[in-house]
Amino acid sequence: MLRLKLAHILVLVGGLGACQSSDPTDHDQFVLGQALFEDGRFSADGKISCASCHRPEHAFADTLPRSIGAFGRETRRNTPTLWGLPTDLPLMADGGVPPLRSGSLSVLAALTAHGDMAFDPRSLNQKLKAYPMYHQLLGRLYPSTDPASAYLRTLHRYLLDLSEQGRQASTGNTPLDPPLVAKGKALFEGEAGCFRCHNGEGKTDGAFYNLALENRTKEEGRAAITLKEEDRGRLRTPVLLNLGKTAPYFHDGQAATLRNVLEHYQHGAGEAGRWQGDSLQKEALLAYLLTL
Ligand code: HEC
Ligand code: HEC
């Protein structure tokens, strides 16, 4: 990862040097965003980067039920995918962070909400000064802003790029068994009732529900933001994209496989109700989920 990052930075330095007077290009922003995303030196222990948990090869999710943050601390929740994230979706499982569409301040709020990562946004300017390469590159991309704001804007642009790329990539997932997938899609949108919440871009309505999952992590859910008792345990409908790469599932990673997820819906999933599908229907639904 380090090799890739340095190679990218060299390309970027060369590129910017060659066209200093022009606006920062999309490519420059993307390359620098990726380098920042993959650089562990911004965490409190200097070891954990965004990519340690949002792993590019897993659609920017993690394979652990809960990720390991700075100083070996476990995250409170399962790391979600960032690949194809809708830009108007309230962020985090409790919706406590404004959507990406609202600008780079949403990245600041997201970083602050990542308690476990021990990223302290207040120390950003100081950290960036210690890395003259970043300081200089950010200064060239955003000459009229301070380095910390330029860092946030660059990461914001990078997240928007991941959002766009992920949406395009997911349309390329080719079904192995088209008739089975068509059956699964019909179930998802029809009698299985999934579409009631998993609708819209990224298959999420952006609303909050309690699925009566075992509450091992003392999950407060949406109530942490609204302070309303009825919101206790309610979580935002997650994005369903590239599901084949983002196991385990649910807010604390308690479902190891998609089959386990469907079993929960079959047993009765709180506000999502109970889905009484037979085993063939389950296979069809699984086949469809894997094409999203
Ligand atoms: C230690 C693991 C870890 C690291 C490091 C990490 N994240 Fe996260 N990220 C998470 C977890 C866990 C969540 C879900 C938290 C929640 O729902 O409360 C999350 C959620 C997010 C979300 C919201 C996604 C959604 O669907 O609402 C964004 C955006 C995000 N992270 C961006 C970043 C960026 C940018 C960095 C680096 C600066 C980063 N993350 C570093 C674990 C991590
Ligand atoms: C009432 C709204 C609602 C309905 C109906 C619903 N879901 Fe969900 N779904 C959610 C919420 C909320 C979560 C997150 C729960 C959690 O993490 O604790 C979720 C999580 C999931 C996940 C895990 C995603 C991940 O990355 O962790 C999958 C897969 C899923 N649902 C598929 C389905 C299928 C298939 C159906 C239909 C049988 C369905 N859902 C019906 C609201 C709903």
| Cα 237 to ligand 2 centroid, rounded to whole Å | 6
11 and 147 both lie in a single domain: yes
pLDDT at position 117 is 60
Query: Using one digit for the tens of pLDDT, what is the confidence trace for 199-219?
Result: 999 999 999 999 999 888 889
Kindly report the length of the chain.
292
Residue 159: nearest ligand to its CA? Answer: 1
Which of 41, 106, 114 maximizes ligand 1 atoms within 8 Å of its Cβ, making it the mutation to test the pocket? 114
Q: What is the C-alpha to C-alpha distance for residues 245 and 243, in angstroms, rounded to an integer?
A: 5
Task: Supply the mean pLDDT for the chain.
Answer: 88
Q: Residue 263 sits in a domain of what CATH number?
A: 1.10.760.10
97 and 194 both lie in a single domain: no
CB 25 within 8 A of CB 16: no
CB 292 within 8 A of CB 231: no
- Inform me whether the pLDDT recorded for 30 exceeds 80: yes
Which of 78, 237, 243, 278 maximizes ligand 2 atoms within 8 Å of its Cβ, making it the mutation to test the pocket? 237
Query: The tokens 């047993």 sit on which residue?
Result: 267
pLDDT at position 23 is 53
pLDDT at position 24 is 59
- Inform me whether the pLDDT recorded for 15 exceeds 60: no
Q: What is the mean pLDDT of residues 61-87?
A: 94
- Inform me whether the pLDDT recorded for 4 exceeds 60: no
For residues 249 and 178, which has the higher predicted lDDT (pLDDT)? Answer: 249
- Helix, strand or coil for residue 243? helix
Residue 205: nearest ligand to its CA? Answer: 2
148 and 193 both lie in a single domain: no
Q: What is the pTM of this model?
A: 0.92
254 and 162 both lie in a single domain: no
- Inform me whether the pLDDT recorded for 132 exceeds 60: yes
Confidence band, pLDDT 50/70/90 cuts, at residue 166: confident
Question: Among the three residues 119, 148, 170, which one is the final residue of a domain in this structure?
Answer: 170
156 and 221 both lie in a single domain: no
Alpha-carbon dihedral 226, 232, 233, 234, rounded to 10 degrees: -50
210 and 239 both lie in a single domain: yes
pLDDT at position 116 is 58
| Cα 67 to ligand 2 centroid, rounded to whole Å | 21
Domain range spanning residue 262? 178-289
156 and 228 both lie in a single domain: no
| Cα 257 to ligand 2 centroid, rounded to whole Å | 13
Question: Among the three residues 170, 197, 219, which one is the final residue of a domain in this structure?
Answer: 170
pLDDT at position 13 is 47
pLDDT at position 215 is 83
pLDDT at position 248 is 98
51 and 117 both lie in a single domain: yes
pLDDT at position 14 is 46
Which of 81, 85, 197, 288 maximizes ligand 2 atoms within 8 Å of its Cβ, making it the mutation to test the pocket? 197
- Inform me whether the pLDDT recorded for 190 exceeds 90: yes
148 and 7 both lie in a single domain: yes
pLDDT at position 59 is 93
156 and 61 both lie in a single domain: yes
- Inform me whether the pLDDT recorded for 2 exceeds 80: no
**DSSP assignment of 88-155, as one string?**
TSPBSTT--B--GGG-THHHHHHHHH-GGGT--GGGHHHHHHH-HHHHHHHHHHSTTS-HHHHHHHHH
Q: What is the C-alpha to C-alpha distance for residues 274 and 38, in angstroms, rounded to an integer?
A: 41
pLDDT at position 123 is 81
